Amino acid sequence: MTAVITGAPAASVPVDRAPRRPRSARWAWLLRLASVAVAIGLWQLLTVADVRWWLRFDTLPTVDEVFTTLVRRLGTEAYWLDLAQSLIRILTGFGLAAAAGLATGILLGRSRVAADVVGPLTELVRPIPAIAVVPVAILLFPAGEQGIVFITFLAAYFPILVSTRHAVRALPTLWEDSVRTLGGGRWDVLSQVVFPGILPSLFGGLSVGMGVSWICVISAEMISGRLGIGYRTWQAYTVLAYPDVFVGIITIGVLGFATSATVELVGRRLTRWLPRGAENGR
Bin 240: left if φ > 0, else alpha if -120 < ψ < 50, else beta: left
* Closest to 224 measured CA to CA, from 129, 162, 144: 144
| Domain positions in the chain | 29-60, 63-271
Query: How far is the C-alpha of 154 from the C-alpha of 161, rounded, in Å?
Result: 11
Q: Are strands 55-56 and 52-53 parallel, antiparallel or unpaired?
A: antiparallel
* Domain 63-271 CATH (choose: 1.10.3720.10, 3.40.50.970, 1.10.287.180, 3.30.450.20): 1.10.3720.10
pLDDT on residue 188: 77
With a pLDDT cut of 90, the percent of the chain lying above it is 32
Which amino acid, 102?
Answer: L
pLDDT digits (tens, 9 = 90+) for 38-66: 999 998 898 888 888 888 888 889 999 99
* pTM, full prediction: 0.78
Q: What is the mean pLDDT of residues 252-273?
A: 88
With a pLDDT cut of 70, the percent of the chain lying above it is 88
Helices (H), 12-76: 25-48, 63-74
pLDDT digits (tens, 9 = 90+) for 115-164: 888 888 888 888 888 888 888 888 888 777 888 899 999 999 999 999 99
Higher pLDDT, 251 or 185: 251
Q: What is the mean pLDDT of residues 251-265?
A: 91
Flag whether pLDDT at 5 surpasses 80: no
Is residue 158 within 8 Å of 105, Cβ to Cβ?
no
Is residue 221 within 8 Å of 198, Cβ to Cβ?
no
pLDDT on residue 276: 55
Q: Residue 43: CB partners within 8 Å, gap ≥ 6? A: 60, 63
Distances in Å between the Cα of 38 and the Cα atoms of 86, 246, 250 are 30, 18, 16
CB atoms under 10 Å from CB of 251, counted, come to 20
Is residue 90 within 8 Å of 148, Cβ to Cβ?
no
